[in-house]
Chains A and B, each alone.
Chain A
Amino acid sequence: AQSVAQPEDQVNVAEGNPLTVKCTYSVSGNPYLFWYVQYPNRGLQFLLKYITGDNLVKGSYGFEAEFNKSQTSFHLKKPSALVSDSALYFCAVSDSYNFNKFYFGSGTKLNVKP
């Protein structure tokens, strides 16, 4: 069965430092992996996706994520965090057998302190 795990409920980083938000997954077919960000009282905003191709995916607002098939991971990264990056981040997965169905992780709250 498909599942997504975000092991950290919260990540705290100082502004200017690199950040990592972790995600691991389990799917039946080839994975399609996504990161979404949710600001308070707003919908889920698409950041980036991995469908196929290069393992390092670059997305919006300077974020990137690396697909690691052997570790079944898709960690979100940013070289230099901004206070405005503080939000709730969700990893999501679908797969090649049923790409309409999304499974979301439980979310990780990112706090970037000045």
Chain B
Amino acid sequence: GEEVAQTPKHLVRGEGQKAKLYCAPIKGHSYVFWYQQVLKNEFKFLISFQNENVFDETGMPKERFSAKCLPNSPCSLEIQATKLEDSAVYFCASSQEGPPYGYTFGSGTRLTVV
């Protein structure tokens, strides 16, 4: 389809619990990106993939965050031992071309850590 599908739309976790977010990129798009919306208009880059390979992970807090894009499966972003400051909207985007080209974003997953 023509949409990047993100699930779930909302996720609530207690502090210290694990959170797992999913993203199905547009068919044919070989690049996948994860962003964390830290302020209303700033999207903090986390990680990108080219097919199933990590393309750029310079934004990932590696202690608790991990991500995968396996063949024939939705991509995933996992946060171990969530903290209050992880509360944010997490956006996935996909692109047919690599950066800095235009991406199509999903509608996001709102993670609330309580």
Binding site for B on A (CB under 8 A): 4, 32, 34, 36, 41-49, 51, 94, 99-106
Q: Is B3 within 8 A of A104, CB to CB? A: no
Selected A-B contacts with CB under 8 Å, 23 pairs: A32-B100, A36-B105, A42-B3, A43-B106, A43-B107, A44-B91, A44-B104, A44-B105, A45-B105, A46-B103, A51-B101, A99-B100, A100-B56, A100-B58, A100-B99, A101-B44, A102-B42, A102-B45, A103-B41, A103-B42, A103-B43, A104-B41, A105-B41
Interface contact tally, CB-CB below 8 A? 59
Q: Would you call the interface of chain A mostly helix, strand, loop, or mixed? A: strand
Residues of B within 8 A of A45 (CB): 104-105
Kindly state whether residue B4 has any CB partner on chain A within 8 Å: yes
